[in-house]
A and B are shown apart, each in its own frame.
Chain A
Amino acid sequence: MSSILVGVKRVIDYSVRVRVKADGSGVVTDGVKMSINPFDEIALEEALRIKERGLANEVIAVGIGPADAQQQLRSALAMGADRAVLVQVDGAAVAPLTAARAFLSLVQKHQPLLVIMGKQAIDDDNGQTGQMLAALWDRPQATFASKLELDGARARVTREVDTGLESMEIDLPAVITTDLRLNEPRYIKLPDIMKAKKKPLDITTLAELGVASETQSLRAVKFAAPAVRSRGIMVKTVAELLGALKQRGVL
């Protein structure tokens, strides 16, 4: 029996219309609703189901980010994680390679059966951390998972790829990244929020984990709003639609 580490990233809620700051230094986060990255919520749900089937004995939620990320870890504990670890990083965004190195350090400490995290975070949309961890750990990766079946020391994973579905078998331990249709995360019940307050949430730092921050190679220079498509014309009938398409030279 062993543990499952789950990545839980604090991101701007998916429903927020993100705006770029006037000075181009980033996006507006003041007063904006923050949530668990939706793909990470799916990762946590999968870990909880594995534990509920008796195939793991502990689910550890791992956050890497500012002190405020404790809120999302408390939500993860309320969903059912047994404990949480925040690798507190103040200021700049954490590069995926740095996050992968932090996970590797925690992996060496906890020797988990699985590390599960979202296939991407909906803020930076990088989609790198899971694969980078698998590389540094020298273990299998199964990205974009839509089905996960554990069988002793192996797992069978169905992945959502451009051509459809792909199925692979991997030895454990391994890294799984989740796609949308792996499961539907549970809702948090009020009593669980109270219980979550008593669960352990440890705070550590990159330095304590012996991780060097990957800051030298890539730097975000400026943010800008994308060009917006302008509203076109409205037509009233299918014949008019066809006429408009011909006029634009599309047909």
Chain B
Amino acid sequence: MIQVLIVGEHASGRLNQSTAKCVSCALTLGECAIDIVVLGAQCAAVAAEAAALQGVRRVLTLERPENAEPLAAIYAPQIAALAKGYTHVLGPSTTYGKDLMPRIAALLGVGQISDVMAAESAYRFLRPVYAGNALVTVEAAGGVIVVATVRTASFQPAAGGGQAAIEPAAVAVNLPGHTRFLSRTQAAAGRPDLQTAARVVSGGRAVASAENFKLLYGLADALGAAVGASRAAVDAGYVPNELQVGQTGKIIAPELYVALGISGAIQHLTGIKDARTIVAVNKDSEAPIFEVADIGLVGDLFQVVPELERLLRAERV
């Protein structure tokens, strides 16, 4: 019997949608029992959210003051201790999971499969390599715990309405004191989250300044979209790092992706290849972004963006 432990992710008292996507991935492994573990100083609210995900058997909580912040050095030994008895341990391929899961795998003495896109069986997985320019099928040996991170852009979140049991778990491990959380920047409020937004408006180097990015925010507001950026725009300081889309930033799969003044480096395209519709606006008709765009417009974004926003607002779409 396949027994899956999913490492839940949460912030500000809310369960991250990445956890529901891990559940969807687990459900493709075949017949299995799925438990979710949530760690925190207090995690009743997020445990309740996790328990509502369909397909989940139990939600285990590890509550202690040291778990107030998601530090890999603190979380990993607790999860590794809890993992014994499971055949699979899954976590999201978000910065939280990328930081934490390899530490768990090493404590368990096993390798990790990063960025699972699909499971052909409980022991056969598809994952991207070379910035998505190749896909590799990886086979895991039976009899060894499979540790994997789940590429969130490849899975829809599991449905709600479930009623899993919530149980406190206890593990006897000594926690290190060598790692201390200091602070975190607050996410900008009032705008859709880039990782999960249905629509994304994204700008590149051609936007040319932080001031000019306001144009994009205007269009994003008209569309109800999140704002993203290419690496070049982030490196130039036009927008903060959390807006970066691409191989080393966020991998997203929105319904609509509007690329403005983005040339379309391979590393950027990796982050958007699962978008349903890609719109590209670029002055350079030879820009590689047009190779993958569903709708392309050769033009100056400083003319196109205000006009598009005006037309959208006039139609109230």
Contact = CB atoms under 8 A, between A and B. Distances in A.
Contact of A127 (B114, B276, B296): B114
Contacts of B276: 250
A17 B133 contact: yes
Interface string B272-306: 01001111000000000011111111110000100
A207 interface: no
B13 to A, nearest CB: 14
A133 B105 CA distance: 11
- Which of A20, A27, A245 lies at the interface centre, i.e. has the most chain B CB atoms within 10 A of its CB? A245
B250 interface: yes
Contact of A221 (B101, B139, B248, B250): B139
Contacts of A144: 95, 98-99
A225 to B, nearest CB: 7
Nearest to A38: B248
Contacts of B100: 131
Contacts of A163: 11, 184-185, 187, 242
A198 interface: no
A242 B312 contact: yes
Interface residues of B, number: 88
Nearest to B311: A242
A96 B276 CA distance: 34
A190 interface: no
Contact of B103 (A135, A170, A223): A135
Given A141-B72, A233-B295, A217 B277 contact: no
Interface in A150-173: 156, 159-171
B255 interface: yes
A109 interface: no
Interface string B110-128: 1111110000000010001
A135 B173 CA distance: 14
A184 B276 CA distance: 35
The binding surface of chain B is classed by DSSP as: mixed
Q: How large is the interface on A (under 10, 10 to 19, 20 to 34, 35 or more residues)?
A: 35 or more
B129 A123 contact: yes
Contacts of A234: 290, 295-298
Given A128-B105, A214-B111, A231 B293 contact: yes
Interface in B145-182: 176, 178-182
A106 interface: no
A125 B103 contact: no
B134 A223 contact: yes
Contact of B72 (A127, A131, A250): A131
Contacts of A241: 279, 295, 297, 304, 308
Given A17-B133, A131-B103, A97 B110 contact: yes
B2 interface: no
- Which of A19, A125, A146 lies at the interface centre, i.e. has the most chain B CB atoms within 10 A of its CB? A125
Interface in A226-251: 226, 229, 231-242, 244-246, 248, 250-251
Contacts of A179: 241, 248
B114 A218 contact: no
Contact of A233 (B11, B111, B231, B294): B294
Given A20-B134, A125-B247, A239-B311, A167 B241 contact: no
Given A221-B124, A222-B137, A224-B134, A162 B195 contact: yes
B248 A180 contact: yes
Contacts of B250: 162
B135 interface: yes
A162 B95 contact: yes
A100 interface: yes
A222 B137 CA distance: 5
B87 to A, nearest CB: 13
Interface in A108-151: 119-120, 122-136, 138-141, 143-144, 146
B256 interface: yes
A27 B95 contact: no
- Which of A17, A220, A238, A240 lies at the interface centre, i.e. has the most chain B CB atoms within 10 A of its CB? A238
A218 to B, nearest CB: 4
Contacts of A232: 278, 293-296
Interface string B50-82: 000000000000000000000111001000000
B44 interface: no
B130 A132 contact: no
Given A235-B297, A245-B279, A97 B130 contact: no
Interface of A: 12, 14, 17-20, 27, 95-97, 100, 119-120, 122-136, 138-141, 143-144, 146, 156, 159-171, 174, 179-181, 214, 216-226, 229, 231-242, 244-246, 248, 250-251
9 smallest CB-CB distances across A and B, nearest first, come from: A164-B185, A232-B294, A135-B106, A132-B106, A131-B102, A128-B102, A171-B178, A167-B182, A18-B130
